[in-house]
Amino acid sequence: MSPPLAFIRAQGSVITDADGHDFLDYQAAFGPIILGHNFPEVNQRVQEMMARIDLVGVGQTDVEIDLARKVCEHIPSAEKVLFCNSGSEATYGAVRLARAVTGRKKIIKFQGCYHGWHDYLAMNVITPAEKLGMRDPLSAGSLEEALRATLICEFNNLEDVSRTLQQNRGEIAAIIIEPIPHNIGCVLPQPGFLEGLREMTRENGIILIFDEVVTGFRHSLGGYQKLCGVTPDLTTLGKAMANGYPIAAICGKSELMDQFNTRQGGCVFFAGTYNGHPFACAAALATIEVMEKQRVHEHVFRLGEKMRKGLQDILQLLKIKATVAGFGSVFLIYFLEGPVNNYADLLQNDQELFVSHRRKLMDRGIFQLPLNLKRNHISFSHTDEDIERTLRATEEVLATTPSVRE
């Protein structure tokens, strides 16, 4: 069965396709849905905003200022913040700023991390085995010069980063990283890895950018940086910040952010007709306030733990050699024997099984995107019963999948 691609309804933890099939949703629109679909408090704030103001496009609105204050209150690296509409715009702006302030051209990213669609960074995410160690652009038509200026290192490998820095001494403007590479499921940073990057970048005058477009607000109000205690120079945010409304942000140290032309004398161009749109700002404010007032993270972390433990028990019971991965609200099963420390380890994942397992779950009304290495997300609207139902369906599917049994 191929995925039902036409949806007509989304409510709480359930999405409904055009044929009227309900699915328990773990795709969460690639991550934004942290509270649940169509969350009443968020919708209400957007509706109130619609009744009051729409796009003005000059100066600021009160909601944009309130939201900026919230981001700076919560995200440790945020002294100042600018809003745009997508994570790709945010990472583009962060890289451009890093190049401007350092006067250097090259960027380091990590194999397996995704930072958006632009030529600066759209490469080396789910790279085929034969291309590992080579440049692997995501798109035809990318500018060769832009690709050449982006160097690829291995996640969790400080020696590789150190070697790359030595080989390109004085040429690296920024290191950009998903602190947990969620675009290949969930690979956790080993103790000392992010700390090591912080030290190396500080010593070498390199801008450290945490791309928290997935992890920000999903793993804590302060992003993963709050949990791991490593503060980057710049941070990009998006997705779970507004529970599905289109908004993203770049934030960081004042001395860097002041170089944007949104400040007098700033020389780094930053613009966008819809930047700071009041509807999206209202959605983000409402989302953050719900997370502040209700036990959102406690709930999604508890259900995440319950899911991972339940999956682990099923694998053990059925004697299946596979690896349960995840953090907080994120979970998935890799069909490989761990441990998983970097993308190369994930080449062992049985892709066919990974996809067919998820297709079978869809037949049972559970939606986990049937695409290799994609993560699953739990929202505040998921219940214990949802998790138990998912575990029962998973056990049924795995029990009848002979190729995974020992």
Annotated active-site positions, please? 114, 211, 239
Say if residue 135 is exposed, middle or buried (CB neighbours under 10 Å; 0-12, 13-18, 19+): middle
Among 104, 115, 218, 226, binds ligand PLP (CB under 6 A): 115
Q: Which of 379, 315, 375, 391 is nearest to 188 (CA)?
A: 375
* Distance of closest approach, residue 219 Cβ to ligand PLP, in angstroms: 12
Long-range (24+ apart) CB contacts under 8 A made by 1-10 are 1/359, 1/362, 1/363, 3/362, 3/369, 3/370, 4/362, 10/37, 10/38
Among 88, 127, 220, 390, binds ligand PLP (CB under 6 A): 88
* Distance of closest approach, residue 85 Cβ to ligand PLP, in angstroms: 8
Among 114, 193, 217, 224, binds ligand PLP (CB under 6 A): 114
Q: Examine residue 34 and tell whether it contacts ligand PLP (CB under 6 A).
A: no
Q: Which residue stretch of 15-23, 52-60, 108-116, 160-168 sits at the interface with ligand PLP (rule: CB under 6 A)?
A: 108-116
Residues 341, 342, 345, 350: what is their CA dihedral angle, to the nearest 10 degrees? 110
* Distance of closest approach, residue 224 Cβ to ligand PLP, in angstroms: 11
Residue tagged 């919560």 (tokens): 74
Q: Examine residue 124 and tell whether it contacts ligand PLP (CB under 6 A).
A: no
* Distance of closest approach, residue 239 Cβ to ligand PLP, in angstroms: 7
Site for ligand PLP in 185-244 (CB under 6 A): 211, 213-214, 238
For residues 206 and 276, give the distance between their C-alpha atoms in angstroms, rounded to a whole number. 29
Give Cα 132 distance to the centre of its chain: 22
Q: Which is nearer to ligand PLP, 64 or 211 (CB)?
A: 211
Among 154, 178, 233, 345, binds ligand PLP (CB under 6 A): 178
Which DSSP state fits 268?
A: B
Q: Which positions lie near ligand PLP, rule CB under 6 A?
A: 30, 86-88, 91, 114-116, 178, 183, 211, 213-214, 238, 248
